[in-house]
Amino acid sequence: MEPQRPDPEQLLRQVKDETKHRGKLKIFFGACAGAGKTFAMLSAAHEKYKEGVDVIAGIIETHGRMETIKLMEGIPSLPLRKIEYQGITIRELDLDAAIDRNPNILLVDELAHTNAIGSRHPKRWQDVQELLESGIDVYTTLNVQHLESLNDLVADFTGIRVKETVPDSIFDNADEIVLVDIPSEVILERLQEGKVYLGEFAKQRAAQHFFKIENLIVLREIALRRTAERVDALRDIYKKFQSKKQSIADKILVCVGPGVLSTKLIRQAKQLASKLKCPWTALYIENDQHYVLAKEEQDFIKKALRLAEQLGAKTESLQETQTAEAIIHYAQQNNVTKIIVGKSRTPRWKHWFLRSLVNDIIDQSGIIDVYVITEDTPAPALKKKHSTFGLWLSFVNAIFVIAICTLLGLPAREWHIPEAVLTIYLTGIVIIAMTAEKASALLAVLLSAICYNFIFIPPYYTFYIHRMRDIVLLSLLLLTGLVISIHTSRLHQQSLFARQKEKYTAELYDLSRKLVITPSKTKVARVAAHHIGEIFDCAATIWVPDNLGDLELVSHPGIKAELKEESVAQWTYKHNQIAGFGTNTMPSARGYYIPLSNGESVFGVLGIIPKDKNKTFSIEEITLLGSLAIQTASALERVKIAEQMQKEKAIQNKIL
């Protein structure tokens, strides 16, 4: 029997994959605006153009500077893409035109620029990432204050926080860094001559605060140090490659929480990881308090984890009831040597009654180093997840329950059995703690003590106590009530937490059971889309590639998808990354798109289109979506393998 001949189309795709290369990134890096980065980039481009290299200017921000405009002469430019926004025409880099033109080198000025709403990516550095993946070399410019990990440091020195930032991984993974360095005095001279574009700073404010000689000296030193750190990192990588050793001494774990302090912790962790040249992880623990967090607090958590990913960290989210124990257990299991945790500014009296997470971690850390970072300013008060009306209603219920307990205890006063009254009040406290917030339970404890003293301790209807026995009983009521209310409220939250986990487990099991008995690709897509749509009360779509590799909407055959949504799904499938609304890639889309991947191959795309345009997915919902996507991908992989086996069996039968 002759061996089976290889598929020519498969060989052609393999050759294309092997010949495809990632483009190279060259960053012209400076201390601040006016250092001459764009001028240096255009000068380097002219040299390449004279050598016969295909150089195209994708977008150059001239800001009306004649020197820059004159230097652009002779270099071909791509037409800019026009975007209409609120009656204003904004010109941005035409990403599709640049990829279709496919030059050897593309010039893209101002890497930290924020694109206009309606662009494929919110940030220009994301455009550059896609250009590099398409095999195009890119020249770009960047100021030191736009590096994400240095954002807090620069703000502390200059007093001005820059909003447009670039992940450090872009800088660290660049193929070449050109430091454009000129004396600080020269920059001030250029500022006086009007040759410096002030950008996001008001002119007067920039001259008074940012462009001061001491600030420029500090920025220049930071730029030099950051460039030197990258050179050291490259040298270490080279040594490691030469010795074939990968011994990592340190691992850093940064603890993320529901507050603005988390972003500072992540930037500090990135700086420490860069200095120690070690991996780092951002960890969030979904404890029993997670489900009562304010919406703003949950948004802080999602933004912090997303920032950590952009800076090169591994992110983890675990569901555990005991936060400190979970952090230490994770650190020990993953050989973490340093833990970074934040300490919020809280009133001193709270430390007398409440345990501190920082102290718990330090007590249990053992040989692990713990770095404690305190927030600069007290966190702003946030609106709680429950409504004000609901909180007041729970207070009214607490008052009502204690009133009922008081009425039930009146006969016991005549019988002179104070222990019975205490039991009745403690029962009411337990009922309130199991059904309401902790604040309502504490109010019930206070009301119980007041009512017991006023009504059941002689002399009646006064707060005077003259017997030691009554003082002891009242103290027992307060102490026991506090302990019961706190622990019962905690158990109530833990039960909600356990029910949520049980619900998610049941949903995963239900989908798995349905997919196991589903034989075809189309039916798998329909079953998964219907099941996921019911869970999240939204429109769910499944996209699977056809024989030519183009995505088709197999979960809803016969329905033509919107062109914009289809393009987002295609991008997700091609890059094996999430995209769509709520992400950093094409956020103006209506849907949230997840690749159906087993880690190596992509079998399709899951799209979620919420009915409510303002809906945002919580961390646990995103985690559940990821798990459902993995199950769907496994089912599609199983169907694909079964189809291949059937084809091979049919070929063998023909040969025999």
What pairs with residue 538 in β-bridges? 610
Within 13 Å of residue 449, how many CA atoms lie on the same side as its CB?
18
What is the per-residue pLDDT for 227? 81
Domain boundaries, the chain: 18-243, 252-374, 388-494, 518-648
Domains 18-243 and 518-648 share a fold: no
Tokens 């094409």 sit on residue = 586
pLDDT < 70: residue spans in the chain: 1-20, 192-210, 231-248, 288, 291-292, 346-355, 376-391, 416, 493-494, 496-497, 500, 557-559, 656
What is the per-residue pLDDT for 196? 66
Q: What is the pTM of this model?
A: 0.59
Angle between helices 213-243 and 184-192 (to 10 degrees): 130
What contacts 109, CB < 8 A, 6 or more positions away?
38, 41, 59, 60, 61, 140, 141
Tokens describing residue 287: 């404890």
Distance CA 348, CA 355 (A): 12
Tokens describing residue 328: 């230490």
What is the per-residue pLDDT for 131? 93
How many CB atoms are closer than 10 A to CB 591? 27
What is the per-residue pLDDT for 382? 47
Write the single-letter amino acid at 580.
G
Sign of the CA dihedral 592, 130, 223, 28?
negative
CB distance 506 to 493 below 8 Å = no
Tokens describing residue 448: 């119980």
What is the per-residue pLDDT for 209? 65
Tokens describing residue 332: 């020990």
252-255 and 105-108: which strand pairing?
Answer: unpaired
Distance CA 432, CA 440 (A): 7
Give every strand in the sheet of 369-374, ordered side by side: 314-319, 280-286, 252-255, 338-343, 369-374
What is the per-residue pLDDT for 638? 86
Radius of gyration of the chain (CA): 31
Distance CA 577, CA 359 (A): 39
CB distance 588 to 581 below 8 Å = yes
Backbone φ and ψ for 200, nearest 5 degrees, come out as -75, -5
Q: Compute CA distances 522 → 21, 180, 518, 563, whole Å.
A: 34, 56, 9, 21
CATH number of 252-374: 3.40.50.620
Helices (H), 159-254: 168-172, 184-192, 203-205, 213-243
Angle between helices 418-435 and 468-516 (to 10 degrees): 30
Per DSSP, 304 falls in state H
CATH number of 518-648: 3.30.450.40
Per DSSP, 113 falls in state P
252-255 and 338-343: which strand pairing?
Answer: parallel
Select from 3.10.520.10, 3.40.50.300, 3.50.50.60, 3.90.850.10 the CATH code of 18-243. 3.40.50.300
CB distance 283 to 253 below 8 Å = yes
Please write down the long-range contacts of 566-574, taking CB distance under 8 Å and 24 or more positions apart.
568/593, 568/607, 569/541, 569/543, 569/593, 569/605, 569/607, 571/120, 572/605, 573/543, 573/545, 573/602, 573/604, 573/605
Distance CA 313, CA 270 (A): 8
